[in-house]
Structure 1
Amino acid sequence: MFLNNFNLKCRYLRVVSHIKRYSTDIANHEVISDLLGISIQEAMYYVEKRRLKNKETQSLIKSIQYCQSIGFKNDDILWCPMLLTQHPLTVEHHYLAMKEGGFSNIEPIILARAIHFMKKEVLNLKKCAIIMDKTDVARSLVEHIENKEIAEKVYERHDDYTPWNIVHMNILKSFLKWRLNAGEDDIVKLFTVHRMIINKSFRIIQENIAIAEELGFNSDKILKNGFLLNNYPTYARTILEDFSNLAGADMKRAIKHHPKLLTRPPRNIIKIYGI
């Protein structure tokens, strides 16, 4: 058992190998200094001023590295501390959703205030050159639906006076109706109980559905456990691949009885089971 747990922990550590050079005791100002290229003194002041002192260090590292991976310069990241205070996966999912919906000029401040900009009318976003003039937001969204037959069924053109988030919500609702064979009442309940689904990327939603179906969940069970659609797929994939057999239990079988296991951060599973 010890050896099995040790192997599980080693596999998980490889998943987060990009942050392995930081010890658990490193202070957040040291991370800021190292990754964003400012002095220790400047970083200490920044962390204190931006209330980053108590943010989980590994989460801070991931936030910075993700922002850098999409082309944001260090100075721009520093000027938008909201990018660092939010959960890194939230930032990533907002970025994906905006790209899918026609946002072509996503500056750091726009991503940092994603919900604010998502609520703007498409016309205003075009006037600010955030979305190109000729972009059909609804068409841009359905192009990211894998099932092209469903994509054509759910497409509905919206005028540019419609807020971007309403276009996204309408297309997403229609998609889920077709994909999960759901009725209007099912979708209303889903969006009422799990409100964060409204802003989810189509890529993320479809990946979550695929994972649930791989586990044998039918459409009714997915709708009943709507949090599966609102999940972070990276958590689910890591749990299924690196903790497939934990403490002598088959993880897939356990998840069928307790679906919320899929939503647990892998690091928490390590803490719970002491591996």
Structure 2
Amino acid sequence: MSTLSGKTALITGSVQGIGLAVAKVLAGAGARIAVHGLADAQQAEAAVSAVRSAGAPDARFFDADVRDVAKIEAMMAEVAEWGGADILVNNAGIQKTASLADADAATWDAILAVNLSAAFHTMRLGLPAMAERGFGRVINIASVHGLVGSINKAPYVASKFGLVGMSKVAALEYASAGTRETGGVTVNCIAPGWTETAIIEAQVQARAEQFGGDTEKGIADLLAEKQPSRRTSAPEEIGELALWLCHRHAHNVTGATIPVDGGWTAQ
């Protein structure tokens, strides 16, 4: 496939998990890939190699710490010099479970900075150039927790609800950019439920402890509680949805939040 031939995609947090899976799927469609993350040289090289092997005609690693606005601005300037991002996937995210009583200011500040403020800055810097070109895709990886609440996750839920709301505003502001022929500029969220990534490992292990350390029983118990399908999603499935949103025929799909949650938010 060469659906995205000539396009450049910046995917934050793409050295592993959902971000890397999205990068590989977009690479397979012909996009150049700006890989991003906080990683050592070996991990960064492995991620770049993986997206090249998946089909990217070119790939480059960016190591900006997205908690730092100046570093985000520098990264976006470097990406612009490299040709500019036609596709921006805000995937970088962190989570820490704690009750409201136990969560501290540092936890709040870190989660909001990575999950919400970083996306604000990449969008404000990236969207104007997309509008000028008449084509652009912003895909923000939110969560079911951008649609429903959950105990012990106040900062995370707040960040994801904020991301969903901010995406709607951006979608409205750029809805008239471009044309059907150029593809327009769209801003959407994908809201995964339980997905096979490192971010859920702590919760899986905590639940497994209730079953004598049995990880499979811990996962099954988590799924039974929230996700009616009782199936996790594979990261590449999120990537395939992101690819569909990048097609020109998705020019009128904007301001949407699409759950991939096995019916979690349908309850």
Larger Rg: 1
- What range describes the TM-score normalised by the shorter chain of this pair? under 0.3
Higher helix residue share: 1
Higher strand residue share: 2
Using structure 1 for the length normalisation, give the TM-score. 0.24
